[in-house]
Amino acid sequence: NACIPSATYRPAYHYTPEKNWVNDPNGLVYLDGEYHLFYQYNPAGDKWGHMSWGHAVSKNLKTWEELPLAIPETMNADGSTNMVFSGAAVVDSLNTSGFFEKGFTKGMVAIYTSHLNKNGEGMAQSQSLAYSSDKGRTWKFYDKNPVLAIGLKDFRDPNVFMQEGKWKMIVAKPLEFMVQIYESTNLKEWTLLSEFGKMGDVAKIWECPSLFKVPVENSDNSKWVMLISSAAEATEFTGMQYFVGEFDGKSFVPDKQEGVLRLDRGKDFYAAIPFQNLPAKDKNPIIIGWGSNWSYAGDIPSEGRRGMFSMPRKLSLVKENGQFRLVQKPIYSNRIHSKELILKASELTKPKTWEMKNNSYKLGLVIDLGNSNGFAMELLKNEEEKCVLTYNAMTQKLFFDRTKSGKIDFNKNFSSIESMQVVPQNGVLKLDIFVDNSIVEVFANEGKVVLTDLVFPQKNGGKIILSLLKD
Ligand code: FRU
């Protein structure tokens, strides 16, 4: 249809750099009114390679400004390179590292994985430091890198936080489905405290671990949560799991759990880590994930730019059936979206339609299910394309179907239907739907169940059609 312009894949309110490849968020840290998002970035193209840290900042976690490359890949005399893999950034306000001028409280230290790359092959991984005295704009490498090497080829993704005056690092031994926890007083010398792993989902390597405290809703308590990027429901996909438990400063002990706790039920949420050094007003941890899946990340339509980030999400815990579960709330506070609707299924005698000018919108819905069988919602609907969010009230399952969502043939694993259990609360289902050109995030029941999926519609603008399921 000539009247419908072609779509852009670049999201409007999800961050992507102007061009090139991105994967994991790195070094999420707050300092002096700025939230920093560093990330795995290839400065030389739209495929994975030359891994370096890109950089963006935000004052409100909603709009981002891209800054010049922060920490680049470096070349060795023999032609091998040190890629800058994933890691964390902290504010060393007491200058424990000694990297800064006496009394300077705003020094930033990045703790990342040096990945030695020779002729395109990974030779060794170790943990290294870089530091910045100008709020992450320019960086120097520590001249005695690496600070932590244990002779493993796969040993990566350090996440560092301060606990009672000591730095703690959690880092992955991916092929062993293990993490290690270390301690340091100066970020340079690290002592092993404990190991944790070989639990939960071990179908795929463990990467990007993090460990942090999360408040329990409606209480003064908090629990420790460990995020691991591991496998999703099927082993050919990467996804995330988490553990809830206690951390005594040395070891993490998980609560008894039934099955695997999955963070996101879609295919495109990985490598999420929390912000460090959040201001007091942010009482809850905030995470950002990479919106893609290694299964097809390199093949998604590019426009010179590949990969994007999820919206920042605030975390809390709730107890359900004796088990703590993470709740994720989008940074756009719930129920004040550009459209917010309370709908009674019993009054929905014919399909309800919204005309959309483009493919970027936010929609908050409260659906009173009544005696209905559920509903189907076509998002991004134009002649041939649609994504369908279906709720079956009998089985209490929510489905997201992207099999007709536009461009799907770039990889055989992309076309998919996600399904997840969502129990209505007092007969009501709440959905916060964020559609943003090529990324869809759905928060059901105020963040109890979350789904993130990429989609590549070819046309810009169309309809949203909501209809009841027939018998
Ligand atoms: C996770 C990951 C990390 C690694 C980085 C390399 O997506 O594989 O383990 O540090 O990507 O880009």
Q: Return the ligand 1 atom nearest residue 48 CA.
A: 12
- CA nearest 308: which of 329, 323, 293? 293
Structure tokens at 220: 């003064």
Question: Ligand 1 centre from 70 Cα, in Å?
Answer: 17
Q: For ligand 1, atom 8, name the residue with the nearest CA.
A: 207
Strand order across the 305-306 sheet: 65-71, 52-58, 34-42, 20-31, 305-306
Q: Return the ligand 1 atom nearest residue 86 CA.
A: 10
Residue 143 burial (C-beta neighbours within 10 Å; 0-12, 13-18, 19+): exposed
Question: Ligand 1 centre from 357 Cα, in Å?
Answer: 37
Question: Ligand 1 centre from 54 Cα, in Å?
Answer: 14
Q: Return the ligand 1 atom nearest residue 238 CA.
A: 7
Among 152, 155, 157, 269, name the best residue to mutate to test ligand 1's pocket (greatest count of ligand atoms within 8 A of Cβ).
157
Q: Return the ligand 1 atom nearest residue 294 CA.
A: 7
Asked, as a colleague might, if the bond just before 215 is cis with ω within 30 of 0, I would say no
Structure tokens at 269: 């949420």
The pLDDT value given to residue 400:
98
Q: Return the ligand 1 atom nearest residue 290 CA.
A: 7
Ligand 1 surroundings by CB, under 6 angstroms? 23-24, 40, 51, 85-86, 113, 156-157, 207-208, 271
Distances (CA, A) of 455 to 140, 213, 253, 276: 39, 33, 38, 31
3 state DSSP class of 35: strand
The pLDDT value given to residue 257:
93
Residue 54 amino acid letter: G
Q: For ligand 1, atom 6, name the residue with the nearest CA.
A: 85
Residue 396 amino acid letter: Q
Question: Ligand 1 centre from 446 Cα, in Å?
Answer: 30
The pLDDT value given to residue 335:
54
Contact 271, 24 (CB under 8 A): yes
The pLDDT value given to residue 19:
96
CA distance 84 to 112: 7
Question: Ligand 1 centre from 101 Cα, in Å?
Answer: 33
Contact 94, 166 (CB under 8 A): no
**Active site members:** 24
Please tell me the number of Cα atoms within 13 Å of 61 on its side-chain side. 19
pTM over 0.90: yes
Among 20, 22, 23, name the best residue to mutate to test ligand 1's pocket (greatest count of ligand atoms within 8 A of Cβ).
23
Question: Ligand 1 centre from 85 Cα, in Å?
Answer: 6
pLDDT in tens for each of the 471 residues of the chain?
445 567 789 999 999 999 999 999 999 999 999 999 999 999 999 999 999 999 999 999 999 999 999 999 999 999 999 999 999 999 999 999 999 999 999 999 999 999 999 998 999 999 999 999 999 999 999 999 999 999 999 999 999 999 999 999 999 999 999 999 999 999 999 999 999 999 999 999 999 999 999 999 999 999 999 999 998 888 889 999 999 999 999 999 999 999 999 999 999 999 999 999 999 988 899 999 999 999 999 999 999 999 999 999 999 999 998 999 999 999 986 555 556 678 899 999 899 999 998 999 999 999 999 999 999 999 999 988 999 999 999 999 999 999 999 999 999 999 999 999 999 999 999 999 999 999 999 999 999 999 999 999 999 988 999 999 986
Contact 225, 290 (CB under 8 A): no
The pLDDT value given to residue 383:
85
